[in-house]
Amino acid sequence: MDRAYNDLKSVSRAAEVLTAFLKAEEWSISGLARELSLHKSVTHRLVSTLTTSGLLICDARSGLYRLGPIMAQLGNQVERNGLLHRFARPFMVDLARLSGETVSIQVVQGDHGLCVDVVESQHAMRLTISPGQSFPLHAGCAGKVMLAFQAPAVIDRLLSHTPLQRYTDATITDPEALRADLASIRERGFGFSDSEITPGARSIGAPIFAANGIVAGSLVISGPGMRLSNERMNQLAIPTAQAAAGLSAALGYTPQPVEGGASDALQQKAG
C-alpha cells in the first residue's frame, strides 16, 4: 500500500512539474523547487526522470530545463485530434447518407487505432462502432489504411511483433502478405476489408492527412456483407477517398487528386 501511494505521489508531482511550464518556458531546478514547494533533491529527481524520458530537455549552456520534443509531439497530436473531430462531422454525415452505412473516423493510439466519432447507419441491421473503441492496426480496414501510410520504421516495428494476432480466418497474419496488402492500399489510396475482425463485416476506408503530411486518421464506411457486395464496395471506394481528401484539405493538407475508378480494385474478395 505504501509503495502504491508513493508511486501515485511521484506521478502527481511529475505532473505538477510539467504543468509549471505553462507559466514559464524555462526553469532551473531551484526555481521549480520554490514554485512547487518541493525539496530541491526531490525536484532534481523528478526532473532527471522526465529528462531521461524525453519529456524535458536541458540547455547545456544555461542549465535551464524546457519541454522536450515528446511534449511537442503530444501537443501536435492533441491539436490534430481536436481539429479532426471538429471538421470531420459534415464529411461523415454526407458519406453516411450516400452509403446508408455506419461511418467512423479513427486515429492512431500507440500500436492500436482508436475510434473518435461515429455516424451510425439507420438500418436495423448495422455494424455498431463506439467512440473510444480500440482496434488493431494490422487487421480491418480502419487500422490498415492508417498503417499503410506510416513511416517504414513504424511498419517494421509493428510487424516485428510476431505472431500477429488472428481474429478470424480472414485476418492477415503473415507479415509479407500484410506488407503486400499495405502496398496495394498506398497505390490505390483506399482500402477494403472483409471479415478480418468481425465475421460478416465489410469496410471501405481512406487515410486522412494533417497539414504536415502525417496520417491524422482514417475515414471508414462499415456494414454487413449482405449489403456491401463487391460491386457496392467498388461504387463507394472513390467517394470515400474523395471525402477523406476533402477532410484532409480542411485540416490544411494539400491532397493528391483522386482520379479513375475502382472497378478492378475489388474482385473475388475484399482485402
Question: For 44-98, what is each residue's pLDDT tens digit?
Answer: 999 999 998 888 999 888 899 988 877 766 665 655 556 677 788 899 999 999 9
pLDDT at res. 76? 58
Is residue 255 assigned to a domain?
Answer: no
If asked whether residues 83 and 124 sit together in one domain, one would say: yes
pLDDT exceeds 60 at position 39: yes
pLDDT at res. 269? 41
Q: What is the pLDDT of residues 204-257, one digit of tens each?
A: 999 999 888 889 899 999 999 999 999 999 999 999 999 999 999 988 888 555
In the listed set 28, 48, 67, which residue is the last one of a domain according to the structure? 67
**Domain count of the chain?**
2
Measured between alpha carbons, how far is 245 from 258 in angstroms, rounded to an integer? 8
pLDDT at res. 271? 36
In the listed set 67, 82, 115, which residue is the last one of a domain according to the structure? 67
If asked whether residues 199 and 234 sit together in one domain, one would say: yes
If asked whether residues 6 and 57 sit together in one domain, one would say: yes
If asked whether residues 43 and 86 sit together in one domain, one would say: no
pLDDT at res. 270? 40
Angle at 95 between CA 91 and CA 97, to 5 degrees: 120
Is residue 258 assigned to a domain?
Answer: no
| Residue 11 burial (10 A CB sphere; 0-12, 13-18, 19+) | exposed
Is residue 63 assigned to a domain?
Answer: yes
If asked whether residues 54 and 76 sit together in one domain, one would say: no
In the listed set 17, 47, 67, which residue is the last one of a domain according to the structure? 67
If asked whether residues 95 and 198 sit together in one domain, one would say: yes
If asked whether residues 159 and 239 sit together in one domain, one would say: yes
Is residue 202 assigned to a domain?
Answer: yes
Kindly state the cell numbers that stand for 36: 512547487
If asked whether residues 130 and 160 sit together in one domain, one would say: yes
Q: What's 128's domain CATH number?
A: 3.30.450.40
Measured between alpha carbons, how far is 255 from 246 in angstroms, rounded to an integer? 8
pLDDT at res. 180? 96
Is residue 269 assigned to a domain?
Answer: no
Residue 110's SS3 state is coil
Which domain does 80 fall in, by range? 72-250
If asked whether residues 160 and 34 sit together in one domain, one would say: no
If asked whether residues 184 and 57 sit together in one domain, one would say: no
pLDDT at res. 236? 96
Which CA distances in Å does 66 have to 34, 51, 116, 135, 258?
A: 17, 9, 31, 35, 43
User: For residue 247, which of 139, 93, 72 has the smallest C-alpha distance?
Assistant: 93
**DSSP structural state of residue 124:** S
3-state secondary structure labels for all residues of 82-102: HHHHHHHHHHHHHHHHHHCCE
Residue 27's SS3 state is strand
Measured between alpha carbons, how far is 51 from 187 in angstroms, rounded to an integer? 41
Is residue 270 assigned to a domain?
Answer: no
Residue 240's SS3 state is helix
Any bridge partners for residue 57, and if so which?
66
pLDDT exceeds 80 at position 192: yes
pLDDT at res. 133? 87
If asked whether residues 45 and 58 sit together in one domain, one would say: yes
Q: What's 38's domain CATH number?
A: 1.10.10.10
Across the chain, mean pLDDT equals 86
pLDDT at res. 2? 57
Is residue 12 assigned to a domain?
Answer: yes
Any bridge partners for residue 222, and if so which?
102, 203
If asked whether residues 214 and 96 sit together in one domain, one would say: yes
| Residue 51 burial (10 A CB sphere; 0-12, 13-18, 19+) | middle
Q: What is the pLDDT of residues 123-167, one digit of tens each?
A: 999 988 888 888 999 999 999 999 999 989 889 988 887 689 999
Is residue 105 assigned to a domain?
Answer: yes
